Structure 1
């Protein structure tokens, strides 16, 4: 959704280092714009294909793991509100993976110079890259909601069951989806599918062309800044702040338990003394069950933070440098960075099943039962 100066007149299509530009679709004007960056054409193709190959392997793992996550949480039921948000998280990760597979296929076909009835690069941008980016925002905000929910369990333990119910959690998931994904519709307003005649191909193929309406361009820019920059960074910092708070509370709880153990040991030798120090606020507010859930949420959030840092850096660079964009001069570096951030997020979504398995006993039992690993003698 990031536009460049060249897009004011037309939508560029890349072929053999040339940007083919059509102003009113009635006549063609071939403008050569040298692509700059740290990679030449051959290096770009090799690096991209390697990253895509690794990405496809991660896609296979992520599809299996997230499908199992959804199946297990559905099996456990939704009496626990947290199961609803975890299902939504797995479903969003799964949607990102499916879209990523389509984008990878289009890039493979484009790099192999396969003659297609459509421009694989441009069409995949509108049908793959843009939806993937918006669904990625959904993953970020669901993670932020899960982290914030655990913070409420510590801050207002007596009211949290009234605030966080299955109905309210489901409503929150729907709002997050609308808030993050629906702006993607603007991309389909700004850009349209159209059959375009390409002189160098001597063929008419399906391509993507922009609307020249200034009003639509301004809306696209505003939505791009809000949803492409402010929205994901805000979610990232919410997760970061909530995670720091949860880690601090867990450390306080751990310190209190160590002091209790030490005091009890001393009290056994000196019966007249107080057996334990005063209980800190966190102890009064976190049960053993809640503590295990908080630890699991912290693990999910930490992995998300680590995997989302490259995305935040890329967003900052694309905001500061206008030409660092999908259709900018630094297009090759933008695509490579995009592949790296995509790979990091796939790994993040794929390893969640390991966190659930080792930190949630109900999930572990349900998964083993689903996979028929626990055989009754």
Structure 2
């Protein structure tokens, strides 16, 4: 047994022998890379590049801490509210995904900072992180996108065909849809273990044996990676982004119709016209006659979707670059740009996950009342009033 372990620990992989103390290779000279001069020896030196990346990472970690706290509170509030409303189920699933994303990004930042300070680790932090958190975070961002797309699409249907949707969108039906989305978007992240595997590697430069990852160069693994990249890496995020964008535009149009119709009705009532004499009321489409509660929910969905659209634009750009440039990935020649782009993308998604709780608090009175009781704001306000 011990002989086999020793033999495994001393396995040599020539492609990994040139590994330095810094797994990100941020200090290497990429003179052959036509895209690197703008970030390397051209406009920015390696030291300046490191400072920018460190600033992004510290900012990202601050947002991660906010996202962890905010989404934990959101989940607790939705649990107290119950899941009789289908929207509570989808918003809870969204909060859970944002919470896990923040935890995975915290693990990423920890790996990088330990490496940056030359802490000797028993594993190659960047490569190991890709298989223990990076791939899961990337696919989880697709899950967030599709949950947001479902929420936006469901609100559109509630306005356009409200009676039919209310029969279909039951709490149990929404729960099933959430499971399907997770199976469709997040579970494929574990397919990365078909293309890459963990190995113990002896590195002569560091004179230690560490855990690393190497690609599996079988024809099946390579073809499987290409297919999964097209489906999960390109089609899924761009399609979800398109659905959210189109549904948000439709919701905004409907909100404007509702506002203009209510203004015309209010104006007619001010002139003391009877309902049958009100041409605006008689010609108003049935689709815009929704309750104030529905209107507030639509506004909340529009706000969530708008923030998602803005924060997800860097992801779409990164997906396009990944398609256009074969070496633009965590193991390729443009890995330096890839990691910088990934952290910028993470910033946008962390912002989106952090501010959703503010939208819930601002636009949902029931969420606000439970939230205030949960963090005991009502008691503090009552004590202040008693002191006065």
- Normalising to structure 2: TM-score of the pair? 0.87
* TM-superposed deviation, 1:273: 8.3
Equivalent residue, structure 1, for 2:152? 147
Aligned pair 1:85/2:90, yes or no? Answer: yes
What's the CA shift for 1:117? 1.0
Matched, 1:263 2:268: yes
User: C-alpha displacement at 1:324, in angstroms?
Assistant: 2.1
Cα deviation digits, residues 304-334 of structure 1 (max 9, x gap): 0000011101111111122222222222111
State the match for 2:218 in structure 1. Answer: 213
Aligned residue number for residue 4 of structure 2: none
Cα separation, partners in 2 of 1:12 and 1:88, compared to 1, 3 Å: farther
Task: Render the CA deviation track for 1:213-232: whole Å, top value 9, x for unaligned.
Answer: 11111001110111011101
Once the two structures are TM-superposed, the CA of residue 16 in structure 1 deviates from its matched residue by 6.4
Aligned to 1:182: 187
CA distance in 1, matches of 2:107, 2:299: 35
Matched, 1:354 2:358: yes
SS at match of 1:207: strand
1:17 and 1:34 in contact (8 A); partners too: no
**CA-to-partner distance for each residue in 1:216-264, whole Å, 9 max, x for gaps?**
1100111011101110110000000000000000100111111112222
Correspondence list, 1:243-258, <5 A: 243-258=248-263
| CA deviation string 1:81-111 (max 9, x = no partner) | 1000000000000000000000111111122
Query: Could you tell me how far apart the structure 2 residues matched to 1:227 and 1:281 are?
Result: 40
For the residue of structure 1 that corresponds to 2:210, the secondary structure is strand
**C-alpha separation between the residues in 1 aligned to 2:32 and 2:71?**
38
Does the CA-based 8 Å contact 1:45-1:111 persist in structure 2? no
3-state DSSP class of the match of 1:351?
A: helix
Alignment of 1:1-377 (within 5 A): 14-15=19-20, 36=33, 37=36, 38-40=38-40, 41-267=46-272, 274-275=277-278, 277=280, 278-282=282-286, 285-375=289-379
Q: Distance in 1 between matches of 2:79 and 2:143?
A: 20
Structure 1 residue ranges without an equivalent (≥5): 1-8, 21-31
Instruction: Give 1:266 deviation, angstroms.
Output: 2.5
Offset of residue 114 of structure 1: 1.6
Pairwise CA RMSD of aligned residues?
2.3
Range with bigger deviation, 194-203 or 229-238: 194-203
Q: What is the deviation of 1:126?
A: 1.4
Give the TM-score normalised by the residue count of structure 1. 0.89
Shift of 1:283: 5.3
